[in-house]
Amino acid sequence: VSLLSETEGVACLAGGTDLMVQMRDGRRSPKALVDISALGFAGIQKENGGWSIGATTTMTELQQRIASNGPSELSLLSEAAGRLGAHQIQNRATVGGNICNASPAADTVCALLALDAEVRLVGPSKKRGVALADFLEGPGKTGILPGELLESVWVPKKERKAGDRVCEDYVKIGGRTSLVCAIASLAARTVIRGSRVISCSMALGSVAPTCMRAKACEELLQGNELTAEMVGKVGETARSEVSPIDDLRASGAYRLDVVQAMVTEHLSHCLDTIEEGGAQS
């Protein structure tokens, strides 16, 4: 932190999978780099009724730790980590780098938003926590202050009653089925009691300046019976919540269709779970 706050034009380097590419392309030219990869910020720990994930945890470590003894509540995050780049990238890319690079297409950011994550920052004079949703300010822009370092990201444990069922989906649509940045993505977690939605969190990627929560969709679902009619209505609402642009990967119009399709697919999965009478717990 002292190096970051006292050195002019400094940037911190984690896995380097964004920063090195940006430096090579001339989009960033820091005068000095501080390598934070050996600071001991890696791993997943139980903390304050949730889980703290160290900023330098790589995508590979995330998947391995969650698969071996991690909580099922983090499986959405593991799924997203497994869709980020190829194995070589997953071995280097960190969760902190994915958050601080602030791409609207960032895979783990989308999942963490759906999980109501909070970022934990350490600076020259204090530590602070900020809701991830408030930390993301625009493409490549976060609320990190000069001299601050992202130390960890905290995910709260959600209480639920016995018999409640959870439907989770991470959907990533790209130009190919793998090894691509998302044209659009959805991380969704819906808790169902009987045929009613107890809670739903849906985060969308690549369809707005930052990864975003589909709040109007969530509100429509909260506490209500899930029916085929409701699925159609929420799909339509999703279109009106996003502001996708045309870019190299796809047109804004195509992205609107994709958003509606992804949301409908997730809710159809929820309907199937209701009809099957509890495939998942």
Ligand X SMILES: Cc1cc2nc3c(=O)[nH]c(=O)nc-3n(C[C@H](O)[C@H](O)[C@H](O)COP(=O)(O)OP(=O)(O)OC[C@H]3O[C@@H](n4cnc5c(N)ncnc54)[C@H](O)[C@@H]3O)c2cc1C
Using CB under 6 A, list all residues that contact ligand X: 11-19, 21, 36, 55, 84-85, 89, 92-94, 96-98, 100-101, 103, 105-107, 144, 149-150, 181
User: CB 100 → ligand X: shortest distance, Å?
Assistant: 3
- Identity of the residue, 74 or 181, whose beta carbon is nearer to ligand X in the bound complex: 181
- Identity of the residue, 146 or 277, whose beta carbon is nearer to ligand X in the bound complex: 146
Place of tokens 């279109």: 239
In terms of C-beta density within 10 A (0-12 exposed, 13-18 middle, 19 or more buried), how is residue 272 classed? exposed
User: CB 281 → ligand X: shortest distance, Å?
Assistant: 30
CB 73 within 8 A of CB 157: yes
Give CA–CA dist 213/201, Å, rounded. 7
Among 40, 39, 50, 55, smallest CA distance to 108 is for 55
User: CB 243 → ligand X: shortest distance, Å?
Assistant: 20
- Identity of the residue, 150 or 242, whose beta carbon is nearer to ligand X in the bound complex: 150
Give CA–CA dist 110/183, Å, rounded. 13
The radius of gyration of the chain's CA atoms, rounded to the nearest angstrom, is: 19
- Identity of the residue, 92 or 158, whose beta carbon is nearer to ligand X in the bound complex: 92
User: CB 227 → ligand X: shortest distance, Å?
Assistant: 35
Bridge partners (DSSP) of residue 192 are 165, 197
User: CB 251 → ligand X: shortest distance, Å?
Assistant: 20
Residues in the chain: 281
> Shortest Cβ contact with ligand X: which residue?
97
Half-sphere exposure of 261 (CA within 13 A, CB side): 12
Both tokens assigned to 254: 């195509």
Under 8 Å CB-to-CB from 69, ≥6 apart: which residues? none
User: CB 102 → ligand X: shortest distance, Å?
Assistant: 8
- Identity of the residue, 27 or 219, whose beta carbon is nearer to ligand X in the bound complex: 27
- Identity of the residue, 36 or 200, whose beta carbon is nearer to ligand X in the bound complex: 36
